[in-house]
């Protein structure tokens, strides 16, 4: 069976970005995220895949275990909305701390997207990416995905950078709820 997916950045897109989140107790979902993810998955049957650069690991600021604890808390918080993220992919590398040639996963590269495509048999032509940074939008373009930039997190700063570079997302949304509404409208043609 071929699936469609919504690829999601994590920090600043689905949860508040407090910078290299290592304390799972500080995880807080952004407004509207739980309800919107539930609608995308339970009504429209999108796979929900987080793809996140976590360079804090390479920098020695957080551990892989802490990243995974944060991911687990996100799914625990989403349970109250009757939804779960299908998979969390993250890149622990940073070119200042790792061999750049070894890393094909760090956005805007599409290694994490390709891994998800292979694992879940995803049709990228029917899939989307929501993120708050220019690397999210560039990763979407590199993978042939429709891209939605949310103005939460680093969204406003990223929009300026993208505009200066003449790289525009498919859609700009004020928040996650509006991003999900755009996907549903685009997907259903309504």
Active site residues: 9, 11
Sign for the CA dihedral angle at 116, 49, 3, 110 comes to negative
β pairing state of 128-131 and 5-8: parallel
Contact residues for 71 (Cβ-Cβ < 8 A; gap 6+): 10, 50, 85, 88, 90
Closest CA to 139 of 160, 100, 110, 106: 110
Q: In what order do the strands lie in the sheet with 47-53?
A: 87-91, 47-53, 5-8, 128-131, 146-150, 171-173
Task: Kindly report the number of other CB atoms within 10 A of residue 68's CB atom.
Answer: 14
β pairing state of 128-131 and 87-91: unpaired
* Residue 124, φ and ψ in degrees, nearest 5: -65, -25
Whole-number Å distance between alpha carbons of 120 and 87: 10
């Amino acid at each position: 069976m071929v699936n469609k997916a919504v690829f999601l950045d994590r920090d600043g897109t689905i949860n508040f970005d407090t910078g290299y989140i290592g304390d799972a107790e500080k995880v807080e979902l952004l407004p509207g995220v739980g309800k919107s993810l539930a609608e995308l998955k339970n009504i429209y049957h999108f796979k929900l895949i987080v793809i996140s650069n976590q360079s804090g690991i390479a920098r020695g600021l957080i551990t892989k275990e802490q990243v995974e604890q944060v991911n687990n808390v996100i799914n625990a918080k989403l349970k109250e909305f009757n939804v779960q993220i299908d998979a969390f992919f993250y890149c622990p590398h940073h070119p200042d701390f790792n061999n750049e040639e070894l890393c094909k996963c760090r956005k805007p590269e599409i290694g994490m997207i390709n891994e998800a495509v292979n694992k879940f048999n995803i049709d990228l032509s029917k899939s989307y990416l929501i993120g708050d940074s220019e690397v999210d939008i560039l990763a979407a373009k590199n993978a042939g995905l429709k891209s939605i930039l949310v103005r939460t997190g680093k969204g406003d700063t990223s929009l300026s950078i993208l505009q200066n570079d003449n790289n525009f997302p498919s859609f700009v949304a004020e928040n996650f709820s509006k991003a999900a509404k755009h996907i549903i409208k685009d997907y259903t043609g309504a």
